[in-house]
Amino acid sequence: MLMPKPNQDVLAKRDYLVTELRRIVADSEAVIDDKDDLRAFECDGLSAYRQLPMIAVLPETVEEISEILTFCAAEGVNVVPRGAGTSLSGGALPLADGVLLGLGKFNKILEIDYENRCMVVQPGVTNLAITDAVKADGFYYAPDPSSQIACTIGGNIAENSGGVHCLKYGLTTNNVLGIEMVTMAGEVIRLGGKHLDAEGYDLLGVITGSEGLLGVITEVTVKILATPEHVSAQLIGFPSSEQAGDCVGKIIGAGIIPAGMEMMDRYAIHAAEEFCQAGYPLDVEALLIVELDGPKVEIEHYSKKIDEIAAACGATVSRTSQNEAERMAFWAGRKAAFPAVGRISPDYMCMDGTIPRSQLPKVLKRMGELSEQYGLRVANVFHAGDGNLHPLILFDANIPGELERCEEFGADILKLCVEVGGVLTGEHGVGIEKRDLMGEMFSEEDLKQQQRLKCAFDPDGRLNPGKVFPILHRCAELGKMHVHNGELPFPDIPRF
Amino acid sequence: MQTTTITSDTQIQDMLDWALAGKHGLAVQGQGSKVALGRPVAADAILDMSGLTGVLLYEPAELVMKAKAGMKVSEVKALLDQQGQKLAFEPPDYGPLLGTAADMGTLGGIFSTNLSGSSRVKSGAARDHLLGVSGFTGRGQTFQTGSRVMKNVTGYDLCKLVAGSYGTLAIATEMTFKVLPKFDTVRTVLVYDADLRAAIACMRDALSSVHDVAAAAYLPAEAAARIPLDYISKPGKSVIALKIEGPKPSATFRCDAMRKIMAPFGDIEVLHSHNSAEFWSLTGNAAPFVGEKAPLWRLSVPPANADRVMSAIKDEGTDCLYFVDWAGGLIWVQLVSESDDGGEAVIRGAIGAEGHATLIRGSETLRRQIAPFQPVSSTVAMLNRRIKNGFDPENILNPGRMYLDEDGQGTH
């Protein structure tokens, strides 16, 4: 994976940068320059790629962040913002010549406002901590990425993270009301707030999912919802993945939007059952978990309809949770599917693409063929309701060439997603992982138009460079590429 | 001013080439039902997009539709209705409010203005339902962003920028959007004769309950009298309206539960499906103000602030007619008192630092003279200018529709 070539001039003044950064932050220990200490930041959830940052800084106030960014901009130093580092696409991978800006100290809940059904929190608060803070009063925050116990709301906004509940309740972008952020120029701005639609260009909407390339978020206002009266889960097994996929489309086509609808294939079912004895049937090829929430009477009404639809689709097993413990057991297997698969293979890579649901049989069949072609096993666990696939490719990094084969296999899966009308990433982000595949989905002009947005916020390209875009442009050059006598303009700019 | 009726992408390309060569401003519009929104555009030609129609993809089981931008919203709604589906953000029809015919609005218009109806409070805004956009930038280049799937984080979400940009960034030719199932039962619980403060508390309790309220509005007696539905206008009292929808057993259960919760706030009635749909359509379209010409403002505020904001407006001695939607988060205010600035100073002063006020209806002179859209900080204004420059460096698309530049020239 090629990253921008480290700037030797920046590396040469490392000591000076450390001294000045220590002058900016109140706690001098918040500037980390020791190699061993920096090791803690060398990768995020995509641990196949590692890079020590030049320096890590852990500020405590918005003023410190503003000063750090102003200073780095003036010194020509790149900055990588980082929350809990749970990104699965290398979005928080450090740069050898960059400052890693850790936001872990921004971990306070600032306000719980039941009158306006919202909360104001700092970006380092974990997703689950938001719900935990209001749970006793009958509220919750809807988006629930699988990593919600560890991932932070700032990171959720950077990646526009999803989760099981976003089928019914939307993604992060649909649940964030406002932010405070600092631009690379050090300016603090507020977008949105406790009110709904703000007029003017929707900068809040475009910051969400921008993978830390446009600004550093320092405060977040999120919408909270009343906790549903009842929740119930249904476990439905099918003799084939095609039948399960067909059932998903028919449930939604019948006008039912479950709170969550997840699917596991045979591989994942067996691995999960072995791992945590969730009580899954082992004689099926595909398993759906359908969660319904609302009043009991509504759950019963929909549950009956779902049973009828499932039976018509050839379901061989259907069980509805009789109590909360049983519902949690149904989910325990699904939630443990990743570590469970980890037990049956030395390594695995989790892919993330979205497809139109109707294409599921075709995609599953083609993935099976690719599995044979590459000689690597694949287990499937995914958000069936919204077509967001998470194929887990099993490999052994100790076998020479297997990681590379796995990467090629993964790329083929993502290309397949685009080919059938889907996208490269549904919730993990592009980061460095899918950066070089962006051309599969966008034309060069589409990508340039996206980069022009980057230029509006960060003209010098200092924030999180090397992520998302396959070619690093300078803003002045966008759309004006002129190759004269075979010489590229700005030959020193790395083009991946 | 010359009008070109667009029926193909080639024509758009030709018009953009012409505009770029001569630095001509282009007014991009559909049926023209929202021309009176925002600042008057300084253009040399009109691009009439209403001929660019047709559904390109509709897969009910996938909850997705892709259609051309000139397609009428009313036609899209009729198509969806046949499959028991809907646009959940309830696109309002401001045609009659702004002095044009009803049912003229187009998809391009509704997404470009990001207008949403009463269910915004639960179902999200127009922008939340826009999945993909194809079209042209002001650079004369084709452009696509987003996709047709619900879950997509590939690259920047430029759909959000296009939504609500009033055609100042790009000419959208095709839009892909999320649709949702229609429920078989809709009920509206009415609570009579509460004042605004009690209404805000009542709507707060309703939305904080487990009963999944889909919309909540409050009409003071004067506004209620202008709604042509007997249950609303005849009692001569203010009315709080709470919308409950779902499959029949659920809607009936929740409606009964809501009646019990709301009992302390006043006398209660319930509207059933037909009347309920009619009421929310009239409310979303701001029916109490149709047929008048006085300046009309739409305020987006934290819901709990609605009472304070209205008191502040009235404390200034401003005579006004108003009603509240989005459980307090949206206030419609029609000024009756005359003032040179159309009430801008009073309205914007009342909402304070948190919230947005938009002049929805005002004379052309007034819309040139004041800022119809909420002014933004200098840093945000700078970012907006750079974004506009990235999409439309020659400022040919709807120049000046939203904001003036520092030198008083219309930019975006």
| Residue A481 pLDDT > 60 | no
B152 interface with A at CB cutoff 8 Å: yes
CB contact under 8 A, B149 and A423: yes
Residues of A in contact with B249 (CB under 8 A): 297-298, 300-301
CB contact under 8 A, B356 and A199: yes
Q: What does the pLDDT look like over A103-126, one tens digit per residue?
A: 999 999 999 999 999 999 999 999
Averaged pLDDT for residues A422-449: 94
Give whole-number Cα distances, B309 to A274, B37, B251, B302, in Å. 60, 23, 33, 10
Q: What CATH architecture applies to the domain A8-102?
A: 2-Layer Sandwich (3.30)
Which of A196, A226, A355 minimises the CB distance to B210?
A226
B354, B302 in Cβ contact below 8 A? yes
pLDDT band at A483 (very low <50, low <70, confident <90, very high): very low
What pLDDT does residue A1 have?
Answer: 63
CB contact under 8 A, B149 and A426: yes
B19, B25 in Cβ contact below 8 A? yes
Averaged pLDDT for residues A406-412: 94
Alpha carbons B214 and B244: distance in angstroms, whole number = 6
For an interface test with B, give the residue of A169, A202, A425 to mutate (most B CBs within 10 A). A202
User: How far, rounded to the nearest angstrom, does the alpha carbon of residue A246 sit from its chain's CA centroid?
Assistant: 27
What pLDDT does residue A79 have?
Answer: 98
pLDDT cut 70: percent of chain A above it: 95
Torsion of CA A407, A413, A419, A421, to 10 degrees: -120
Q: What is the 3-state secondary structure (H, E, C) of B318-373?
A: CCEEEEEEHHHCEEEEEECCCCCCCCHHHHHHHHCCCCEEEEEECCHHHHHHCCCC
113-142 in chain B: CB under 8 A from chain A: 114, 116, 120-121, 124-125, 127-128, 137, 139, 141-142
Q: How far away is chain A from the Cα of B373, in angstroms, using its nearest Cα?
A: 6
The first and second tokens of residue A249, run together, are 């489309």
The first and second tokens of residue B383, run together, are 């970012």
What pLDDT does residue A273 have?
Answer: 92
Averaged pLDDT for residues A450-478: 89
Averaged pLDDT for residues A64-72: 98
Q: Which of A43, A34, A57 is nearest to A103 (CA)?
A: A57
Give whole-number Cα distances, A125 to A108, A132, A496, in Å. 6, 11, 35
Residues with Cβ within 8 Å of B25's Cβ and at least 6 positions away in sequence, in order, are: B19, B41, B42, B43, B44, B45, B395, B396, B398, B399
For residue B124, which phi and psi values (nearest 5 degrees)?
95, 175
Q: Tell me the H-state helices in B153-195.
A: 158-162
B1 interface with A at CB cutoff 8 Å: no
CB neighbourhood size of A341 (10 A): 24
Give whole-number Cα distances, B202 to A117, A277, A358, in Å. 14, 47, 44
For helices B306-315 and B344-351, the axis angle rounded to 10 degrees is 140
Residue scoring higher pLDDT (A205 or A3): A205
Residues of A in contact with B148 (CB under 8 A): 356, 421
What pLDDT does residue B411 have?
Answer: 65
Domain extents for chain A? 8-102, 109-226, 229-433, 436-496
Which numeric CATH code is attached to A109-226?
3.30.465.10
Alpha carbons B379 and A191: distance in angstroms, whole number = 11
Q: What does the pLDDT look like over B134-168, one tens digit per residue?
A: 999 999 999 999 999 999 999 999 999 999 999 99
What pLDDT does residue B42 have?
Answer: 86
Residues with Cβ within 8 Å of A495's Cβ and at least 6 positions away in sequence, in order, are: A471, A472, A488
What pLDDT does residue A162 have?
Answer: 86
Residues of A in contact with B181 (CB under 8 A): 252, 255-257
The interface pTM score, or ipTM, of the predicted complex is: 0.96
| Residue A492 pLDDT > 70 | no
Q: Which of A60, A56, A18 is nearest to A38 (CA)?
A: A56
The first and second tokens of residue B183, run together, are 């429920």
| Residue A484 pLDDT > 60 | no
A83, A123 in Cβ contact below 8 A? yes
Which residues of chain B, if any, have pLDDT below 70?
Answer: 406-411
What pLDDT does residue B137 have?
Answer: 97
Residues of B in contact with A173 (CB under 8 A): 128, 157, 160
Which of A174, A206, A249 minimises the CB distance to B128?
A174
Q: Which domains, from first to last, does chain B contain? A: 2-181 (3.30.465.10), 185-284 (3.30.70.2190), 292-369 (3.30.70.240)
What pLDDT does residue B410 have?
Answer: 59
B390 interface with A at CB cutoff 8 Å: yes
What residues pair up with B126 in beta bridges, in sequence order?
none
Q: What CATH architecture applies to the domain A229-433?
A: 3-Layer(aba) Sandwich (3.40)
Alpha carbons A69 and A92: distance in angstroms, whole number = 17
Helix (H, G, I), strand (E, B) or coil at A351: coil
